[in-house]
Structure 1
Amino acid sequence: MKVHTLAGYIQHIYLVETPGGLLLLDGCSRADAHNVCTFITDTLNRPLTDLTLIVVTHMHPDHAGGAHKLRKLTGAKIAAHPKAAKWYSGVMGRAAHLIDVSLTWWVAGRLGKPKKHIWYSPILKPDIILLDEQTLPGFEDWQVLFTPGHTDHDITLYHGETSQAYVADLMVSVKRQLTPPYPICHPNQYKQSLKRIQTLQPQTVFCAHVPPLSINDIDFEAIIQQAPVLPKNHWHSAKNRIAHALGGQNAAH
């Protein structure tokens, strides 16, 4: 079993290679789909049909945006959390989807990347619904762990034999310091998810936006201390701005 790291549009992409097939640890962005395919055919010298499973750890554009496209190109199945398909449902969900796509372009711009086509369906259509602590179909040495907080449906993937875990956006780096991601939709669940990984003690931790880490490099208590008490997301921020503006107007009168 080998874990290959590919440079994605705004994130690291992790492709697992085994003799029996290929596993994509996250759905990446739509802009990454052809690069993943080229890596499979040109670097690994394997047919695209060897990619048999794509896990979507959560629905943000750099984790789910390429899933449907890659399924179409390779025939792979998509596996996801039971709540993933409904994350962007409804009017508020569609608005959040637009904001998240725009934020992805903003991050790309900060990284010096050109604006690319990253639009994808806000409604995921998975082939496999995952359960907490189950193993991945066809890759039974990988275990699914639910680690919500960033969203209500975040997934960590754990390879016990080699003590490696892919935690997606459970932590990011700001000014070379590990911090909670944005948004944090469920602060209490987020802190419990951090503690779950801390208890698990994987030797190597793969993140979407941070180079691979040794467990000894992660100060879990410091990250937990930085986590917000209340939700920190688009809607909470907007409501706070409105309340602040109305408060200022009332004070003026």
Structure 2
Amino acid sequence: MQLHILKGYIQNVYLAQQGDSLLLLDGCSRADIATVCDYIQQQLALPLTALKLIMVTHMHPDHAGGAHKLRRLTGARIGCHPKARRWYGGLLGRTAHLIDVGLTWWVASRLGKPKRHIWYNPILKPDLLLLDEQPLPGFPDWQVLYTPGHTDHDISLLHTPTKQLYIADLIVSVKKRLVPPYPVCHPNQYKQSLKRVSELAPNQLYFAHLPPRAADNINFDAILAQAPTLPKNHWHSMRNRIAHALGRQTRSH
């Protein structure tokens, strides 16, 4: 197994190669499609049809935005957790999708990147629904780990022979400190997912927004200590701001 790491729009893009077959460990963003296709054809000297499977770890724009178009271009199948399909459903879901697209552009601006076209269908239409500990079709050395918390449908991907693990957004970095991501929609599930990764003791961890590092160099207890006890997401932040504003208005009278 060879793991190719590409620099994406705002995140790392991981292509796992097994012979002449390729597995994309996450659906990347709409802005990353040309990067992925060029790498396959120019650097690996393979046809686009070598991409056989696109995994979507969760539905945020930098993890799902390129999946549908890459499927059209390559013929690859899309796999995800069953709950991923409903994440942006309904009026609240569509509103959250708009916010998340805006946040992606904000992160890009902080990284000095230009504003790119990243819009994508918020309702994923996968070919494969994969559950915890299920091997990936066509890539049996890879296994799904259900690691919710950031959303209700996050998955990590484990290469079982080498114990290398891609955890997407389970851990991020702020001011060079490892911290929980934003949002954390399900705090208790997030803590359980983090403990599960810690207890698995993988040899190497791969992140969407950090360079790879050995798991034994990570202080999981310190990250757990920073995890919120209540949901930390768009809706709770908005509600808290409204409550704070109303409280100040009441006190002023």
* Equivalent position of 1:14 in the other structure: 14
Q: Which amino acid aligns with 2:5?
A: T
Deviations 1:53-111, CA, capped at 9 Å, x for gaps: 00000000000000001001100000000000100000000000000000000000000
C-alpha distance in structure 1 between counterparts of 2:80 and 2:215, whole Å: 26
TM-score by length of 1: 0.99
Percent identity between matched residues is 68
Give 3-state SS (helix, strand or coil) of 1:100's partner: helix
Runs of 4+ in 1 over 6 A off after TM superposition: none
2:170 alignment partner in structure 1:
170
1:47 alignment counterpart: 47
Q: Name the structure 1 match of 2:149.
A: 149
Runs of at least 5 residues in structure 1 that lack an aligned partner in the other structure: none
Q: Work out whether 1:250 is the aligned partner of 2:246.
A: no
Partner of 2:133: 133
CA distance in 2, matches of 1:26, 1:230: 28
Q: Which amino acid in 1 is paired with 2:177?
A: Q
- SS of the residue corresponding to residue 82 of structure 2 reads coil
Query: Residue 91 of structure 2 aligns with which residue?
Result: 91
Instruction: Quote the offset at 1:118 in angstroms.
Output: 0.1
Structure 2 CA distance for aligned equivalents of residues 180 and 169 of structure 1: 8
Q: Does residue 62 of the first structure (1) align with residue 62 of the second (2)?
A: yes
Aligned length in residues: 253
Question: CA shift at 1:216, angstroms?
Answer: 1.5
What TM-score, normalized by structure 2, do the two folds share? 0.99
Q: Which residue of 1 aligns with 2:221?
A: 221
Q: Distance in 2 between matches of 1:20 and 1:154?
A: 28
- For the aligned residue pairs, the C-alpha RMSD in angstroms reads 0.5
Post-superposition Cα deviations, 1:113-172, rounded to whole Å, max 9, x if no partner, equal 000000000000000000111000000000100000000000000011111000000000
- Deviation of residue 20 (structure 1)? 4.5
The CA deviation at 1:217 is 1.5
**1-side partners of 2:137 and 2:20: how far apart?**
12
Q: Which runs of 5+ in 2 are unaligned?
A: none
